[in-house]
Amino acid sequence: MQRKRRHSRKIRHPRARRPNLNPRPRRQPPRWRSSRAELIGASVVGTLLIAFTLLLAGGVVSDFLDARALRDHGVYADGVIVKVHHGFGRGRDYVVAEFTTRDGRQVTAEVDNIYWRPVPQVGDRTSVVYDPAKPADNVADAGRGPDYIVPWGYAVVAVILGAGSVAIVRNIVRIKRRG
């Protein structure tokens, strides 16, 4: 005679998970860790951005000081256009003008912010404003005056690049701290 079981056993499916009576702590998924090459690449990009930003900032300061010198100390003179240069694209056109300074020196200088309507021709008369401290280097069209737009545009670009380079460097430092 067979005995009847009092407690019947549940039949489990062979693939069913058994409850874990002794749980181990779950392993956290690994954080994003960058390789050494990625850190070096980001460091190089960050350093180049910072260097370019500093060069651009130096150009901004130089252009602004030149424009301020023309505004504060500029001397007006009449000149003759000796060469017209048409560059490729906007902003690359300039003329070479020849004028006489107050002390009688004959100066030939590039004028890049000349008024282009009508297009100037060789031999046309023009009026320029020059910096007496650097008459060959700092010359502008008298009708347009010193150029403040270019330094402000460069300043905006320098601020954007500076912010980007700071963000890159900050991320590099944060990643290196994490290990």
pLDDT at 35: 67
pLDDT in tens, 52-98: 888 988 888 888 898 889 889 999 999 999 998 877 655 567 889 99
pLDDT computed for residue 131 by the predictor? 92
pLDDT at 5: 59
Q: Where are the alpha helices (DSSP H) in 12-148?
A: 36-73
User: Would residue 159 count as lying in a domain?
Assistant: yes
Peptide bond into 118 cis (omega under 30): yes
Enter the DSSP assignment of 75. E
| Residue 159 structural domain | 36-178
| Total domains in the fold of the chain | 1
Question: Rounded to whole angstroms, what are the CA distances from 16 to 11, 12, 13, 19, 20?
Answer: 10, 7, 5, 10, 12
Q: Is residue 149 part of a domain?
A: yes
* pLDDT above 90: residue 36: no
> In whole angstroms, what is the distance from residue 81 CA to residue 97 CA?
4
Checking if the pLDDT of 175 tops 80, the result is no
Question: Does residue 167 fall inside a structural domain?
Answer: yes
Residue 18 lies in a domain: no
85-122 confidence digits (pLDDT tens): 877 655 567 889 999 999 999 999 988 777 667 778 89
Is 1's pLDDT higher than 80?
Answer: no
136 belongs to a structural domain? yes
In a domain, residue 6? The reply is no
Q: Is residue 86 part of a domain?
A: yes
Provide the H-helix boundaries in the chain: 36-73, 149-178
- In this structure, is residue 73 part of a structural domain? yes
Residue 124 has pLDDT above 60, yes or no: yes
Give the pLDDT of residue 149.
78
130-170 pLDDT, tens digit per residue, is 999 999 988 988 877 777 777 888 889 888 988 888 888 88
